[in-house]
Amino acid sequence: MQDQFQRHIDYLRISVTDRCNLRCRYCMPAEGVQWMPHDSILSFEEILRLMRLSTQLGFRRFRITGGEPLVRKDILGFLSEGAQLPGVEDLMLTTNGMLLPEMAFDLKAAGVQRVNISLDTMDPERFHDITRGGDVSRVIQGIFRSLEAGLKPVKINVVVVRGFNTEELPSFLTLAKQYPLHVRFIELMPIGISSEHRTDFVSIKEMKELLGIKDYIPTQEIPGGGPAEYFRPSGFKGSIGFISALSRHFCNTCNRVRLTADGKLRACLHSKHEVDLREALRNGSSDRDVLELLAQAVWRKPAQHHMNDEAWQDKRVMSQIGG
């Protein structure tokens, strides 16, 4: 369906849990966050109902996120049911990759078509420090298991932070050159804990200068409904992409809304304004009533984000709003 600004909205990001098996420094504080009570989280049956209804409004792309979605019990069964819903054309997953070595083939069998893997550093000590205990070798193993399983494309999300991983950008470039992987360099967004690191921001323009590529050849062949601008340099098996949320925002082409783990529909990542679908699902509302709430939320999607306006923001961390 279209919103009031004539954008075609067909992409729903669904957080199935706020829990995570890592404690990344720019995502949550050292003491962690208070997890949502179990009964606050939407059940898989409730999420499947929302997916089924949303296809009636024209939603076709569904990305499953967390927290870390693979830590939720019975996630494979849910994914299998979701992939079989009429109207679901693209079922995707975003993960930190820690559980992919064991689960990549099962995800493919369940109907997941492709994965995005968050990996900001390939240095073992640096990864252990930024994630407060993670093992980067498992993530790298998970990347290649995903390729072996036939998940396609496999995309690597790299949030670029000054003084942390800028010198590693050429290493990620080598990864995309030698393997059919699609590495996306992402500007740090001021959300939750990461808002404390504004001086660490690196623009897409500077990233390109650090990479030193001369022949940025645009490519449109990478599947996905997201905002990345892709390039395939000469001789590369994969590609590189850039997501510029701050220096050149993509709000005029944004095609997505987000469902938080506790059932709030958020039309813009950077807005605290939400529609409570959990209440509608649990108070006996008819399908027609829920559809009306969905349609109203999409119609009221703001023209652009207001990430620098505190009146629009809340203090929840990314794992709590489906990052």
53: nearest Cα among 4, 27, 14, 86? 86
**Mean pLDDT score of the chain:** 89
User: What's the confidence (pLDDT) of residue 275?
Assistant: 95
User: What's the confidence (pLDDT) of residue 137?
Assistant: 98
User: What's the confidence (pLDDT) of residue 250?
Assistant: 74
pTM for this model (two decimals) = 0.91
Q: Taking the CB of residue 131, how many other CB atoms lie within 10 A of it? A: 23
- The predicted model gives 224-235 an average pLDDT of 84
- Examine the pLDDT at 311 and tell me if it is beyond 60: no
- The predicted model gives 206-232 an average pLDDT of 84
- The predicted model gives 153-167 an average pLDDT of 95
- Alpha carbon 137 to its chain's center: 22
User: What's the confidence (pLDDT) of residue 270?
Assistant: 73
DSSP-assigned letters across all residues of 212-228 = T-S---B---S--SSS-
- Examine the pLDDT at 319 and tell me if it is beyond 80: no
pLDDT band at 197 (very low <50, low <70, confident <90, very high): very low
Report d(CA 202, CA 193) in Å as an integer.
17
Instruction: Report the first-to-last Cα separation within the chain, whole angstroms.
Output: 24
% helix / strand / coil in the chain, to the nearest 5? 35, 20, 45
- Examine the pLDDT at 190 and tell me if it is beyond 70: no
User: What's the confidence (pLDDT) of residue 265?
Assistant: 95
Locus of tokens 């509302």: 285
Rank 224-233, 240-249, 256-265, 297-306 by mean pLDDT and report only the highest.
256-265
User: What's the confidence (pLDDT) of residue 108?
Assistant: 98
Q: Model confidence over 6-46: pLDDT tens digits?
A: 999 999 999 999 999 998 887 777 777 788 999 999 999 99
Q: Model confidence over 107-140: pLDDT tens digits?
A: 999 999 999 999 999 999 999 999 999 999 999 9
User: What's the confidence (pLDDT) of residue 310?
Assistant: 56
Q: What percent of the chain has pLDDT over 90?
A: 72
How far, in Å, are 9, 116, 215, 303 from residue 177 at the CA level?
33, 18, 14, 37
